[in-house]
Chain A
Amino acid sequence: MAAANIEVSETPLVLYALRRADDALILGHRLSEWCGHAPALEEDMALANMGLDLLGQARELYSYAAKVEGKDNDEDKFAYLRDVRQYRNLLLVEQPNGDFARTMVRQFFYAAFADLYWRAMMASTDPTLAAIAAKSEKESAYHLRHSSEWIVRLGDGTEESHRRAQDAVDHLWAYTGEMFAVDDSERGLIDASIAIDPAALQPRWLKTVSGVINEATLSLPSNNWMQKGGRSGSHSEHLGHLLSELQSLQRTFPGATW
C-alpha cells in the first residue's frame, strides 16, 4: 500500500511558509536535474550550488511551517507526502528545465523577484522569517547575478543562442505575474507586518528585468496575460511528474526511515 497524503492545517502562517518552501524545493529540484548534464563542468558546479541554496531554504521554511502548525508534520512529510493539489509553489518554478536558456531565464525571473522579496522580508516582525530572509537574500542576490550574466551572453551571443533565449523569455513570461499576487490569507499577514506585499515590488522587478533583457538585446513579450493557480494547488501538468519522482521511495515504502 502506498503511503497516504498528510493533512495540513493551512493557517495563514503555515500556508505562507509552505508556499515559499515549495517554491524553493521545486526550483532546487529542477536545478538538481542538471547535475552531470550541464553545458560545461564549471556550470555544473554553479547549478548545483544554486540548487543546494534553494534546498536549504526549503528545509528551513518547512521546519518553520511544522513548528507553527504544531502537529507531527516535518520537512520530509511536507515534501514527500503531499500530492500535487497540496503543493503551493509558483507555476514558474515547476516548469521543466528545457534547454539551458529556459533554465536560466526561469532562474533569472525568479531570482530577480526573490532577491527583492527576501530583502524586504528582513523587516518582518516574525523573527524566524526575518532570519530566513536574511540568509536567502544573499543567496538570491548571487543567483540573480549569475543568471543575469548568462542572459546577457545568451541574448547577445550567437544567432542560435539569441533565438533560444528569446524563446525562453516568451515561453516563461506568462508565469511571472503570479509572483506578485496576494490572496486573503496572505493579506492578513501583510497587514500584521509578518509578510510584505509583493505587488509593491513589481515596478522594481520590472526595472531590473528590463535592464538585463535590453542589454541582452532581447525583448519582453507584449502579451501580459498571466497564468496563475500554483498558490492554491492548481498546477501545470509538469508538477505531478516531478512529484512522482521526488516522492517515489517514501510513497513505495510507507513509514520507513531513510
Chain B
Amino acid sequence: MYTQALNSSDGDDRGIEDAALAAQFQARIDADERIEPNDWMPAAYRKTLTRQISQHAHSEIVGMLPEGNWITRAPSLRRKAALLAKVQDECGHGLYLYAAAETLGTSREELVDAMLAGKAKYSSIFNYPTLTWADIGTIGWLVDGAAIMNQIPLCRCSYGPYARAMIRVCKEESFHQRQGFEIMVTLCRGTAEQKAMAQNALDRWWWPVLMMFGPPDQASQHSDTSTKWKIKRFSNDELRQKFVDATVPQAEFLGLTIPDPGMKQNANGNWEYSAIDWNEFKQVLAGNGPCNRDRIAARRKAHEEGAWVREAAAAYAEKRKGRRLAQAAE
C-alpha cells in the first residue's frame, strides 16, 4: 500500500544507456506489456521501482507495529484472532514486496539495512500512535481503505513482479477493511463511551490518512515519469478525492462526524475538503512524527536481537553441508 506519498524522482532520462533500447522499452510499456526482471530497463526505472517497492515493503513491516500494539489487548477472542491474522498478513505482504524488489538486483538485507539506518522512507501514517481499541477499527476502515485505493491500480503496474505481488496482496487484504469497519460499527452501536472512543479515533486519524496519498499534484513534481512508465496510474489528488467520496457516506452510516466542518459537496457530487496541513506531513516524513523514533527503535531491536538466531541457522546449514561432503568422501 502506502507508496503513493513517497514517489519521488529518478525520473529524468539522463544517463539512459542507449536511446534505441530506451525507445523499445517505452514502446513495450505503451503497448501495455509487462517488464520482467531480466529484461533490459533504464537505470532510472530500476532505481525508481527499487525505491518504491522497498518503501512499500518497509511500510508493511513498520505498519505491523501500531496494530500489533493491540493484539495482546484485543477485547474478544474473535477480535484477537482476526487482528493477529491481519497483522500477520502485513508481514506476508512486506515479504512478497521485498521479494519483488529483490528481482531488481538489491538484496532484502540491503533494503532492510537502509530502512534501519533511517535512509529509506516508509508511509508517514505509521508514525501515529494507536491509543485505544477504536484506533484498530479506524486503521482497518480508513488506512486500509486508502491503501486499497492505491493498491488496486498497482496490480496493473508495468513491472511484472510488483504487479503480481500486488494482486496477491489485494486478494488477501480484502478482509482487512471489512474487519476494521465491523469494529467501528460495533463501537458506534455500543455504549456512549465506545461511540466517543470511535469519534475520537476518527478525529485523530482523518487528516493523517488524507496525507497518505501524498503531496497535492501541483507540488508533486515527479509523477510524470512514473506515469509514463505506468508505475503510477492516478495522481495523488485523484486518489485522495476518490477516497474522500467513498468515505463520507460510510462515516454517515456510522453516525460519526468527519473533523472537517468546512467540507461540502460540490455540483459534481465530489466532497471538497479543507486545506491539509502539509507542514505536519513534512515534519512526520522528516522524522518528527509522534512515533518515528519508537518505530525505528522497535524494528532495530527485533533485527539486532534476531541476529544470533539467523547466524545459528546459517552456521548449522554450513555444518550440515560440510558433514554431507565428508560423508560423500568416505
Contacts and interface: CB of A to CB of B under 8 A. Distances in A.
A-B complex is real = yes
Contacts of B307: 39
A258 B79 contact: yes
B312 interface: yes
B311 A158 contact: yes
Nearest to B67: A36
B88 A246 contact: no
Contacts, number: 138
Contact of A45 (B76, B92, B133, B315): B92
A25 B311 CA distance: 31
Interface in A206-258: 245-246, 248-250, 253, 256-258
A177 interface: no
Contact of B80 (A32, A40, A164): A32
B316 A153 contact: yes
The A interface, classified by DSSP as helix, strand, loop or mixed, is helix
Interface string A40-54: 111111001101100
Nearest to B85: A52
Contacts of B85: 48, 52
A250 B77 CA distance: 11
Interface stretch (B150-158, B190-198, B268-276): B190-198
B321 to A, nearest CB: 13
B197 to A, nearest CB: 9
B313 interface: yes
A157 B312 contact: yes
Given A39-B302, A45-B95, A249 B308 contact: no
A153 B305 CA distance: 17
Contacts of A164: 308
B186 A161 contact: no
A100 B91 contact: no
A49 B91 CA distance: 12
A249 B194 CA distance: 11
A99 B190 CA distance: 40
Nearest to B193: A253
Contact of A35 (B68, B311, B319): B68
Contacts of A156: 316, 319
B72 A32 contact: yes
A76 interface: yes
B95 A36 contact: no
Contacts of A79: 77
Interface residues of A, number: 48
A247 B183 CA distance: 18
A256 B72 contact: no
B61 interface: yes
A36 B302 contact: yes
Contacts of B187: 258
A154 interface: yes
Given A35-B71, A56-B81, A158-B315, A42 B88 contact: no
Contacts of B72: 29, 32-33, 245-246
Interface string A131-163: 000000000000000000000111011101100
A59 interface: yes
A58 interface: yes
A258 B182 CA distance: 10
A157 B64 CA distance: 29
Given A37-B298, A79-B77, A258-B186, A44 B84 contact: no
B73 A38 contact: no
Contacts of A44: 64, 88, 91
A37 B301 contact: yes
A44 B301 CA distance: 14
A55 B84 contact: yes
A258 B76 contact: yes
Contact of B306 (A56, A62, A100): A100
A49 B191 contact: no
B87 A48 contact: yes
A136 B313 CA distance: 28
Nearest to A48: B88
B57 to A, nearest CB: 9
A137 to B, nearest CB: 20
B306 A161 contact: no
Interface in B271-287: none
B77 A253 contact: no
A40 B73 contact: no
A33 B91 CA distance: 14
Contacts of B183: 258
B307 to A, nearest CB: 8
Contact of A153 (B65, B88, B95, B312): B312
Interface of A: 25, 29, 32-33, 35-45, 48-49, 51-52, 55-56, 58-59, 62, 75-76, 79-80, 99-100, 152-154, 156-158, 160-161, 164, 245-246, 248-250, 253, 256-258
14 contacts: A25-B77, A33-B72, A35-B88, A36-B61, A36-B87, A39-B305, A52-B88, A55-B81, A58-B77, A153-B313, A156-B316, A156-B319, A256-B75, A258-B186
Q: Which 4 A-B pairs have the closest CB atoms?
A: A39-B306, A157-B312, A161-B312, A258-B75
